Every structure is written in C-alpha cells, then in structure tokens.
C-alpha cells in the first residue's frame, strides 16, 4: 500500500511542475497540481476521463458554455476530449485523476512518453 498526506506534498513550482503521485499504464494516473494566485490551466483537453478534486482554495472551471466556481471539497468530471479551463484568483490545490491511463490517442507518436503530465 502507498499513501500520501496531500497537504504535505511539496509543489515548489506551482502549475509548472505538477507532482505525479501515481501512474500505472493500463490503470490510472494521480497528479497533484498547485495553482498559485492568478495562475490558470488554459483551454485544454485530455484523452482520458478526468476527475478533478479541489482540495484547498477556489477555482473557476469553464467547459463549453458553462462555468462553475468550485471551492474546497468540490469534485468535477470531464469526459475524454472535453475542452475546459481552470483558473484561480487566490490559489488552489488540486488532485487530478486520469483513467484509464493512458487514454486512447494520448500519445501522438509510436512510443509513449515516460515522464511528465502530458495533458494532451
């Protein structure tokens, strides 16, 4: 068994350096992301089904023609290839779960990349 106390995991470079907590091919990937005040994950999409849990702070999540102002303990779901953005005026700590990992079409070439978040 592995476990993490998420508030204690260091995220020294905010959204520029997400922390991959778990990644198992054919299973799932768990990523901890810190958005510092004013940071955003601009319009993007992933090939996997994505669950985004706001652990601390607040974010505005936009997808299609709707938005949600999500505070701590809010869980959001995105379908594969659903375009969305996440912004935080005051900063937030987020847990991103992607499954199955990697989703069909995740890798653009013949060989999978073995490091990084690679969100598209």
Domains of the chain: 22-101 (2.60.120.10)
Task: Provide the terminal-to-terminal Cα distance of the chain, rounded to the nearest Å.
Answer: 30
Reading the chain (120 residues) residue by residue, the pLDDT tens digits are 999 999 899 998 877 789 999 999 999 999 999 999 999 998 888 999 999 999 999 999 999 889 999 999 999 999 999 999 999 999 999 999 999 988 787 776 655 554 444 443
Ranges of beta strands (E only) in the chain are 19-23, 27-35, 40-44, 49-63, 66-71, 75-78, 84-87, 92-101
* pTM strictly above 0.85: no
């Amino acid at each position: 068994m592995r476990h993490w106390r998420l508030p204690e995991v260091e995220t020294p470079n905010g959204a520029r350096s997400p922390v991959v907590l778990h990644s198992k091919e054919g299973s799932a990937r768990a990523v901890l992301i810190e958005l510092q005040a004013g940071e955003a994950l601009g319009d993007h999409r992933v090939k996997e089904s994505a669950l985004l849990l706001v652990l601390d702070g607040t974010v505005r999540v936009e997808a299609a023609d709707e938005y949600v102002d999500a505070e701590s303990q809010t869980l959001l779901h995105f379908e594969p290839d659903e375009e969305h953005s996440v912004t935080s005026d005051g900063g937030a700590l987020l847990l991103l779960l992607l499954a199955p990992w990697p989703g069909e079409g995740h890798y653009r070439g013949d060989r999978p990349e073995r490091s990084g978040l690679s969100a598209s």
